[in-house]
Chain A
Amino acid sequence: MGDLWAGLVQAAGLVFALDAGLVEIAALSLRVTLTATVIAAMIGLPLGAWLAISRFRGRRVAIATLNALMGLPPVVVGLVVYLMLSRSGSLGVLGLLFTPTAMIVAQVIIITPIIASVAHQAIRELWADYHDLLLSLNATRMQRVQALLWDGRRALVTASLAGFGRAIGEVGAIMIVGGNIDHATRVLTTAIALETGKGNLALALALGFVLIGLAMAVNIGLHMLSRTERGSRW
């Protein structure tokens, strides 16, 4: 209990003092994960919608694969991205290893299947509802996807937030590809791991509380923006 309390007090102190190191780390966490979420949503949401409305050979296998990919171990993703981006890797010339960009790449790989899968579930139900109307109105495939994405936007915000939640708390992959370099690639989760290893439990806890607060703030903010809880009939 004493540790927890000390952590809370120290967290409050760090936040209210706007500790420069903390702000830098938290800002990088947000930047990396928000960028990864946006990119993954741009891939995953249309992919989920497309899987919901398309009929092709191997569709069931594709959906099963997608669901299985939700369970990708981040450490393994990090390792593969590391191998690709390392000097001797196929993308080594880009010089991206140990940069925030590498961390974004790893997170995109981890959360795109989650976003696509949750979106697929939501869109599938909407499509069952809209199917006859959109066919009757001669909507093109592109128009169907547009209508489903737009009318399903609240569920899609939720899908994106599921991806965000997984990415913001992720440590294994970004530790490997980012390297937890101070002032370069250190984010909240890797800092927590480091401080815990050094025995600075109070500081680690303080960073943990900041992380939780950040994740909740983004969730609440997005829900308010998309008015998920308003207009109960949507």
Chain B
Amino acid sequence: MVTALEGVEVRRGGRAILGPLTLTLADRGLTIVMGPNGSGKTTFLRALHGLERIVRGRVVWPDGGPDRGAQAFVFQQPVLMRRSVRDCIAYPLRLRGVALRAARALAEVAGAEAGLADRLDLPAQALSGGERQKMALARALIVAPALLFLDEPCASLDGTSTRDIEATLARVRDRGTRIVMATHDIGQARRLADDVIFLHRGLVVESAPREVFFGAPATPEVQAWLRGDLLA
């Protein structure tokens, strides 16, 4: 079963900033969305997640698709609630009616797994950049989503934090969570991708499995991008 985008279009200020996109997504694995700044990566993820209004076309999910409750989204800038790290991670559970003590207990386990065991009592705003993104990832994973979106989660992180996050993502993917992730780090795409979608100016330039995308890119844009050239 696949997810199909049929002529999906997102407009802002009378201008199409994404699409029309027609494309299919496999139902498992980790899809990397690549492209230069402003190519529509973020809008693509937000439209799939339902945060962006699709003005034309539609997304057809297999069997009605995962509803919003089975999805999670990690933003490029982690949203920090004015709470302790423990309560931030517990918050999605609280929304689902899990009692405070149980939610906090689960959050402590999730936080420890994310390497934040000694940060749980701090206000979220006191975390460093890498820790903030780990907190956001733990918060997204605590509801065991079937579908996880990440928008350049490692954009401003150092090597250690990036490695920790990539390890978590690989583990989650192997447990069967579908992951769609934007990045413009070519190395990260090589390390993680099962398949790659390349966007440029809001349109899909190329969509291919990893081996094909990196081994035999079909379009001059992707060839140039992989060489390290700048796309106009």
> Which A residues are within 8 Å of any B CB, using their own CB?
126, 129-130, 132-133, 135-139, 143, 147, 151-152, 231, 233-234
Q: How far is the CA of A135 from the CA of B91 in the complex (A)?
A: 13
Q: Closest residue of chain B to A131, judged by CB?
A: B79
User: Which residue on B lies nearest to A154, using beta carbons?
Assistant: B82
Which of B51, B79, B80, B123 lies in contact with A231, CB distance below 8 A? B123
User: Which residue of chain A has its CB nearest to the CB of B140?
Assistant: A136
Q: What's the tally of chain B residues with a CB closer than 8 Å to chain A?
A: 19
Question: Closest Cβ of chain A: how far from B151's Cβ, in Å?
Answer: 10
Give every chain B residue within 8 A of A130 (Cβ-Cβ): 79, 81
B95 at the interface (CB under 8 A from A): yes
Q: Are A143 and B95 in contact (CB under 8 A)?
A: yes
- Top 7 closest pairs, chain A to chain B, by CB: A133-B79, A151-B82, A136-B73, A233-B125, A138-B68, A233-B123, A234-B82
Residues in A whose Cβ lies below 8 Å from that of B80: 129
Q: Say yes or no for B171: interface residue by CB 8 A criterion.
A: no
- A136 engages B81 (CB within 8 Å): no
Q: Are B51 and A152 in contact (CB under 8 A)?
A: no
Instruction: With a 10 A CB-CB cut-off, give which of B72, B79, B80, B83 has the most chain A CB atoms.
Output: B79
| Closest A residue, CB atoms, query B126 | A233
A136 to B82, CA, bound (A): 18
By a CB distance below 8 angstroms, the chain A residues around B51 are: 132, 135-136
Residues of A within 8 A of B123 (CB): 231, 233-234
Q: Is the interface of A mostly helix, strand, loop or mixed?
A: helix
Query: Roughly how many angstroms separate A130 CA and B72 CA in the complex, as a whole number?
Result: 15
- In the assembled complex, B225 has its CB within 8 A of some CB on chain A: no
Contact B79–A138 (Cβ < 8 Å): no
A137 with B82: CB separation less than 8 A: no
Looking at the assembled complex, report how far the CB atom of B155 sits from the nearest CB atom of chain A, in whole angstroms: 16
Contact B95 A133 (CB under 8 A): no
Contacts A151-B82, A234-B125 aside, 10 further interface pairs with beta carbons under 8 A come to A132-B51, A132-B73, A135-B51, A136-B73, A137-B91, A137-B92, A139-B95, A147-B91, A231-B123, A234-B123
Please state if A129 and B125 are interface contacts (CB–CB under 8 Å).
no
B75, CB-defined interface residue at 8 Å = yes
Residues in A neighbouring B72, C-beta threshold 8 A: 136
Task: Pick the most buried of B49, B80, B95: most chain A CB atoms within 10 A of its CB.
Answer: B95
Least Cβ distance of B95 to chain A in Å?
Answer: 5
A-B contact pairs, 22 of them (CB 8 A): A126-B82, A129-B79, A129-B80, A130-B79, A132-B75, A133-B75, A133-B81, A135-B51, A136-B49, A136-B51, A136-B68, A136-B71, A136-B73, A137-B91, A137-B92, A138-B68, A138-B95, A143-B95, A151-B83, A233-B125, A234-B82, A234-B123
Q: Cα distance A147–B80 when bound, in Å? A: 12
Asked if B7 lies at the interface with its beta carbon under 8 angstroms from chain A, I say no
Q: How far is the CA of A129 from the CA of B81 in the complex (A)?
A: 9
Cβ of B69 under 8 Å from chain A = yes
B8-47: which have CB < 8 Å to A? none
**In whole Å, how far is A122's beta carbon from the nearest beta carbon of chain B?**
11
Whole-angstrom CA separation of A126 from B81 in the bound complex = 9
| B residues 97-121 in Cβ contact with A at 8 Å | none
- With A231-B123, A233-B126, A234-B123 given, is the CB distance from A138 to B69 under 8 Å? yes
Contacting residues, chain B, for A143 (C-beta < 8 A): 95
Given the complex of chains A and B, what is the CA–CA distance between A139 and B68 in angstroms?
A: 10
